[in-house]
Structure formats: C-alpha cells, structure tokens
Structure 1
Amino acid sequence: MQEEPEDLVVAAAQSGDLAAFNQLVSNHEQRVYNLAYRMLNDAEAAADATQDAFFQAYRALSQYRGGSFKSWLLRIASNICYDRLRSRNRRPTTSLDEMIEEAEKVGGADLGLLEDHQSDPVDFATRRELARELAQALQSLPDEQRIVVILSDVQGMSYDEIVYITGASLGTVKSRISRGRLKIREYLNKSKELLPGDLRQ
C-alpha cells in the first residue's frame, strides 16, 4: 500500500486527526531524537527534548503554513535543545562509553563507522575508537557550530534548510559549517592512524 503524501497527513493532523499526527511522530521521531542526542549528549535529556518537540509541534500545528514539515519540526527541536543547553552551567558529562552505546542503539555512529562489526574484529575495534573520537570532537564544538555540522553532515540537510532551522544567514551557516569541520579535522589529527585514507592529510 502506497504511503500517503506527507502534506496530506499534515493537513489531516491540522484538522484534528490524532492518528495522522501519530503518523508524523512515527515518521520523524528518530531524526528528532538523533538531533537532540547529538546536541545534548545525554540519552534521557534527548528523549525529553524529543517529547517536548512533538508536544510543541502539536500545539503549533495551526501555525504551520506549508513547506518542509521536517525542517519546521527540526527548528522547534533545535530551539528546545538551545534552551536546554543555555540552562546548563557546564557541558554535559555523559561518558563516551555511553555515547557509543547509545549511537549503536539508534543506528550506529556517524558515517556508518560501526557497520559490519562481525567481519573483522580488529577493524571493528578501530572503527569503534574512531567513533569515540568523532563523538568527542563533535561535543568539543561551540553550540552554534555543532548544530549546523549535525544538520549538514549527520542529518543531510541542505543549506537552505539549515538557514530556516537555525535562523542564521546563509553566509553564517556556511562559515559555521566550515569552521566546525576544520575543528573536527584538527581534533582528529591527533589520531591519524584511525582515520580513513580520504580524511588523512
């Protein structure tokens, strides 16, 4: 059975169809959770932020005027994450072991680094260590750089979508992505032996 176009599902949800809204939750909850987890670095906080994002989206459905529902929803989620981060006095302290375990639960670390772990135990161990380094590098970025790198390189969003989600100008988005990627590369240079050949310099 062909899936109903999302704009029709959104319209039904706006008309009060709870089943339609639940379908939207099902379609997007993993993406929202992944964004929240990488921003907040805490599984429980990410789950709470995801729940809050959908609650706010439900209450604000009448304000949605078309376009990309995914971008509209991620804008709500990113604002919630920013609010949570601003309310903290220091960076999250979730252990890297917990970060990697959670990454495996939600579909593997960035760039598929933990795939095919049964084929080569040595290679898997190397990939796991690189995943740790990537997670730590991502968390080392300032919040405004981390969010755009996550949206671009993890979520696969376009520049225009990131501009809409963050409210920053196109030039600012491009600059933050560039600076964030550079900082991650510099961070990983200390572990060059872990990097794939195309990332070594």
Structure 2
Amino acid sequence: MKMKKSSSFEFPVSLVKQYLYCPRIPYFTLIVGAKERITELMKYGREEHKKRLRKMEKKGWKTNVLLKSEKYGIYGYVDAFRKEGNGYVVYEFKNTEYKKNVFKMHLYQTAAYALLVEENFGRVIKLVVEYGDKKVEAPFTRGIKNYAVSIINKIHRIGETGLVSVKIDRRKCYNCGFRYICREI
C-alpha cells in the first residue's frame, strides 16, 4: 500500500494503537486537543517499562529512541531495536498480560514503529511484542506493513478533515481514558 501525498502534520505512533481501540481517540487528540487521563496504574507501568528498557540496553539493544518519518508523517519512541542477521528486530513492551483480543492493536503499533526503524536504519525483518506473561514474535510481512500504513492514512484523514466514524464498540468505553469527553458529544 502506498502512502498518500505527505500530510501537513505529524502524529505519535501511539495513535495507531488508540485508533484500533476506538477511531474516536485520534479525533479527540488531534482535533479537540484532549489529553488522556493518567491513572496511578499508568504511572506504575511507566516505571516498570523503564526497568525493562534498562535490561534490554545492557543486552545491546538500542532503547527508547525517538524517530521520525517524513514519508509517513509519524514519530515516536521505539522501545528497543537492533540489527540481527540481514535486518532489524523491533521490540515493544506491554505492561499487561497477553490477551488475544488486544494483540492486534499492539502488533500494528509495533509495525508503525518498524516503519520508523526501516526509514531511518534499514530493513526490518521481525516484530516482537512482550507482555508480562508472554512474548509474541511475527515477521514484518508486506501485509502487516500495508495494514499499518492504511491505519496511518486513516488517522491522517481524521486530522485533515476533522471527521471520524460514529460507530463505536460501547463495551470498550468503560476502560477508555477519553470517556469523560466522549459522553459529551
């Protein structure tokens, strides 16, 4: 899939995961300027995340590297990556237990980070998402890459037009950090 003509703005890769959770979240972030509420659990998770990154760095991984993509109009801090064989491996940590129904969000967020690594360093061959209880690896296939780019394009469209789907999965609303604003619309 080709990226459409370069957009006039950039957005953080984390919106890829947020878009897959609910397409309204990029709207609230990009158009309304809303911020997600920070919980105590999120603060704890950040500290645990830092500990894991320090361990990876000791093993020779580049960690917490800020990268930007002119081509895709995205930026973000890649948890960890390194060259292995004929390409790079991109690693993403999640401070939660593995659940099949949320893995897709994490996989495509990691794929978007892989696009950053690819543009700045070279070919990515593998994606790794590590949870508290499981590590999941996937090759960085053309299909995964194309789907990640399609999500990026959809988020750019939201940012450019201010329009977003009204269809939402209300079961997700309870745990959403934006429900305080979403109920008002």
Q: TM-score range by the shorter chain?
A: under 0.3
Name whichever structure is richer in helix by fraction: 1
> TM (normalized to structure 2)?
0.24
Q: Which has the higher contact order (CA 8 A, sep 6+)?
A: 2
Structure with the greater alpha carbon radius of gyration: 1
Name whichever structure is richer in strand by fraction: 2
> TM (normalized to structure 1)?
0.22
